[in-house]
A and B are shown apart, each in its own frame.
Chain A
Amino acid sequence: MSSNIMLEVKNLVVSVEDNKILNGLNLKVNEGEIHAIMGPNGSGKSTLSNVIAGKPGYQVEEGEIIYQGENILELEPDIRARKGIFLAFQYPVELPGVRNWQFLKTSMDSIRKEMGLDEMKVREFDKIFEEKRQLVEMNPDLIKRSVNEGFSGGEKKRNEIMQLSLLNPKLALLDETDSGLDIDALRIVSEGVNEFKRPDNSILIVTHYQRILNYIKPDHVHVLVDGEIVKSGDHTLALELEDKGYEWIK
């Protein structure tokens, strides 16, 4: 496994409206690794993935987020995305009137432009789009509609993973992707993630429950409590947590 560092979070202190959410968090993710951040509700899991993706509304008071050797804290979210950071939303947003195809083609071309590539040919894009649609077993009629509009919770999550697979980022942040999924959808979503996984990209899974880790095996598991990582281990830590509950850590 390569030892290139994909992401390094150093002493990150983040607050929202004067409430401290992350309290000096440290994390290092190498290329080719899958990390899982587990923790009880309100521990700061989603804040971590949101802050890495650049979501407005958070005050970063201290620390750094180094992505591929660059401190990205000052970069706008669209620039971070074009540099290869992808956030799969816990609650994907509906975009009335914006078609899936148009949205993803625009997204794809924006990312390609950053890489110095021309816009993707429509035919080529259509082919990949169809491949990815099949991968997550999305209804072809649904995909012709506006982004996430009229989608069920599970369909929205599958759409997130379809986008992940299509845009092929370097760093994927999966925020509670397993929440609200039934067993079949969880399997489909997990297969999508596993298909995406390569030695030169990395995944950070934020989750409350262990069950998605039965499908996507993490190299490292971290337990987040009150904005700090209080314990790290390999995938067996997740099983232990499932068994003993978060009280065990506290």
Chain B
Amino acid sequence: MTNSISDKYKIDFTKLQANSNYLNKTRDLAMENFHHVGLPTARRGNEKWKYTNIAPIASTEFRLSEGSNVDPNNIRKQAFLDDSWINLIFVDGKFNSELSDDIDLDSISINVLSSLSQDQYISLDIETHLGSLINLSEEGFPALNTAFLSDGIIIFVPEGVKFEKLINIVFFNSGQQNVVSHPRVLLNVGLNSTLSVMESYVGGSGEVSFTNSVSEMILGKGSTLNHYRLLDESDTTYDVGYGRVKLDQDSKFLSKSFFKGASIGRYDLNVLIEGERGSCDLKGLYLTTGSQHMDNFINIDHVAPNGTSNLLYKGILDDKSRAVFGGTVMVRQTAQKTDSIQSDKNLLLSTDAEVDSKPSLYIYADDVKCAHGATAGNIDAETIFYMLSRGIDIELASKLLLYGFAGEVIDSIQLEELRDKFASYFLEALPDYKFEI
């Protein structure tokens, strides 16, 4: 069975030819791994994929884009762009320098993978960093991504740089039939530095397409990374993303993840707290409608002592949509004084909507403070009555309550202009729902 899956990608794979020995070697190795591992199935015993069936992805023959003409206005309409940010635009996995802002900066090093020279591969020591947080022999999707490694963004922030501007990486899907792209991001934040990055996966059309991304984030001692992720593609797209994060001593990873569109979406986020007092704050908001399926699979691994992790995900589910939340916090024996809280809260607006929420906690240290929980339901009658008793009609009350529910995540966005954009965007996107009195 694994044979047939890797065969589906063989034709495109054999056409790849890089100028870098490293790249050719890495791809070959990844393809070999992909051939063995294949794609995960929702078979019995496979807890990681228990609720998400990727058969539609496995059964489709996807191909790389041979180039696409896109109207820049179309990208502007679908992505969040702002003049005060550094906007980097990819179309179907390929960097578009004409649509992107200048990346030649003094304080930090922003590199486009496809334009790296053989010398740069060596001087930037790409080999050491790229792929260091993924395990090719265990995970099919990242192996496939690496087998087609050809474009993406690599950022190095040197020691002591507080970089204020948001780096806005837009992966635009032009929506060609059966096209796949394999976006790649590597963020390396140096000692005591700060970086803010948004990854947006947007676009799509009425045709089936597939985005298979991998982002690696390495945080040095005392550094902070503000990371935003938006998935808002059309309802015929499949989107699988891997986020891999490693925290050194006293570093902070602040993540906000938003989901609004894709036919099947999965974000697998793994945070390894390897340095003492490393902390992460992960917030997420998913809004599912129609027959969408969104799966958030999150692992936080506390290895070092005195770490904190704070996880809050919220979902609003309508129609026949389905959401999956799998959150695992692991507190190893070495991670004494860990402080961890995780919760996943869901509003089900339709009796046909379904959420499978499974937060879990494994504690092997004896001096820790941990809590977890999940809720799913509708707004209770007393709450609705309270609003009505103040003269607010049911339509307006529903809107305020829905927005209030989502607002907790949106309000946590530190960047004001981004927060404003997300606030109006999600308010607009909320279903026209009326709670029952």
**Residues of chain A at the chain B interface (Cβ within 8 Å):** 53-57, 76-78, 81-82, 86-87, 89, 92-93, 95-98, 102-104, 106-107, 110-111, 114, 146, 163, 167
A/B interface sample: 28 pairs, CB < 8 A: A53-B389, A54-B388, A55-B385, A55-B389, A56-B381, A76-B394, A76-B437, A77-B385, A78-B391, A78-B394, A78-B397, A81-B390, A87-B389, A93-B386, A95-B401, A97-B401, A97-B405, A97-B406, A97-B411, A98-B401, A98-B403, A98-B404, A103-B387, A103-B392, A106-B392, A106-B396, A110-B391, A167-B390
Q: Which residues of B contact A92 (CB under 8 A)?
A: 386
Q: Check B386–A76 contact: CB distance below 8 A.
A: no
Name which of B381, B382, B406 has the most chain A CB atoms within 10 A of its CB.
B382
Q: Check A78–B404 contact: CB distance below 8 A.
A: no
Of B381, B391, B407, the contact of A82 (CB 8 Å cutoff)? B391
Query: What class of interface size applies to chain B in its complex with A?
Result: 20 to 34
| B197 on interface, CB distance cutoff 8 Å | no
Q: Check B391–A97 contact: CB distance below 8 A.
A: no
Chain B 360-402, CB within 8 Å of chain A: the 1/0 string? 0000000000000000000001110111111111101100110
A114 to B391, CA, bound (A): 9
A216 to B137, CA, bound (A): 76
Closest to A148 in B: B386
Q: Check A95–B386 contact: CB distance below 8 A.
A: yes
Q: Check A97–B404 contact: CB distance below 8 A.
A: yes
| B319 on interface, CB distance cutoff 8 Å | no
A107 to B386, CA, bound (A): 11
Closest to A80 in B: B389
Q: Which residues of B contact A57 (CB under 8 A)?
A: 381
Q: Which residues of B contact A114 (CB under 8 A)?
A: 391
Q: Check B383–A77 contact: CB distance below 8 A.
A: no
Q: Check B388–A97 contact: CB distance below 8 A.
A: no
Q: Check A106–B405 contact: CB distance below 8 A.
A: no
Q: Check B386–A89 contact: CB distance below 8 A.
A: yes
Q: Which residues of B contact A82 (CB under 8 A)?
A: 391
Q: Check B393–A110 contact: CB distance below 8 A.
A: yes
Q: Which residues of B contact A77 (CB under 8 A)?
A: 385, 388-389, 437
| B199 on interface, CB distance cutoff 8 Å | no
| B28 on interface, CB distance cutoff 8 Å | no
| B408 on interface, CB distance cutoff 8 Å | yes
Q: Which residues of A contact B386 (CB under 8 A)?
A: 89, 92-93, 95
Q: Which of B399-422 contact A (CB under 8 A)?
A: 400-401, 403-408, 411
Q: Which residues of A contact B406 (CB under 8 A)?
A: 97
Q: Check A95–B381 contact: CB distance below 8 A.
A: no
Q: Check A95–B389 contact: CB distance below 8 A.
A: no
A210 to B236, CA, bound (A): 66
User: Shortest distance in angstroms between A195's beta carbon and chain B's nearest beta carbon?
Assistant: 20
Q: A97-B406, A97-B408 are in contact. Are A107 and B437 (CB under 8 A)?
A: no
Q: Check B382–A107 contact: CB distance below 8 A.
A: no
Q: Check A110–B405 contact: CB distance below 8 A.
A: no
User: Shortest distance in angstroms between B411's beta carbon and chain A's nearest beta carbon?
Assistant: 8
Q: Check B383–A95 contact: CB distance below 8 A.
A: yes
